[in-house]
Amino acid sequence: MPSDTRIDVRIDDLSSPEVVALVHEHVGGMRDSSPPGHSFALAVDGLKRPDVTFWSAWQGDALCGCGALKALGPDAGEVKSMRTRAAFLRQGVGQAVLDEIVHTARARGYAGLYLETGTGEAFAAAHALYLRNGFEWCGRFGDYEATDFNVFMHRRLHPG
C-alpha cells in the first residue's frame, strides 16, 4: 500500500497496459456475476468512444480504480465502468470516482445521471454507494431491457 492515501482521479486515454488490464478485470467480473447476455459493461473500445469520458483512480503510483461517464444526450449521462481493485476496497475509491463523474456531469449542464447495474450480493456495495449519493431506483432507460437480473437508478442534478 502506498504511503500517499490521497486518491487522484484523472481522465485517462486507456493507453496504459495496467489500465487496460483493469478494464478487462471489470468486464470479466461483470460477466462472472451476471447470467449470460446480461452484462453491459463497456470493453476498452466502447470506453474510447467520443461520447464516453473515462477516468482512472490512483493512490501514489498504484492504480486503484476507474469509472466512466457516457453522454445520453445534451442533458443526461450514464455512469459506466465503476471498478475498485480488491486491494483498495472500502478506502473511498468508488466515492472519489463517482464525485468526479457527478462534478463533470454538472459542469456539462446535465439534469440527471442514470445507471444500470446487476442484482445480488456481488452488487450490494455498489447499490449502497449509489443510494448514499442520492441515486434512486427507477425504470429502465435507453436501450436496456429490464430483467430479473438488473436494476436501474437515477439521480437528479442541480447546476453548480
For residue 1, is pLDDT > 50?
A: no
User: Considering the domain boundaries, does residue 1 fall inside one?
Assistant: no
Question: How many angstroms separate the CA atoms of 144 and 148, rounded?
Answer: 13
Q: What is the pLDDT of residue 159?
A: 64
Q: What is the pLDDT of residue 2?
A: 44
pLDDT tens digit string along 43-69? 788 899 999 999 999 999 999 999 999
Span of 38-47, 57-66, 75-84, 111-120 with lowest mean pLDDT: 38-47
What domain count does the chain have?
Answer: 1
% of the chain beyond a pLDDT of 70: 88
User: Considering the domain boundaries, does residue 2 fall inside one?
Assistant: no
Q: What is the pLDDT of residue 42?
A: 74
Question: How many angstroms separate the CA atoms of 33 and 100, rounded?
Answer: 26
CATH of the domain at 109: 3.40.630.30
User: Considering the domain boundaries, does residue 137 fall inside one?
Assistant: yes
For residue 112, is pLDDT > 50?
A: yes
User: Considering the domain boundaries, does residue 3 fall inside one?
Assistant: no
Which range of residues forms the domain containing residue 143? 8-156
The overall longest dimension of the chain from CA atoms, in Å, is: 44
User: Considering the domain boundaries, does residue 64 fall inside one?
Assistant: yes
pTM as predicted: 0.90
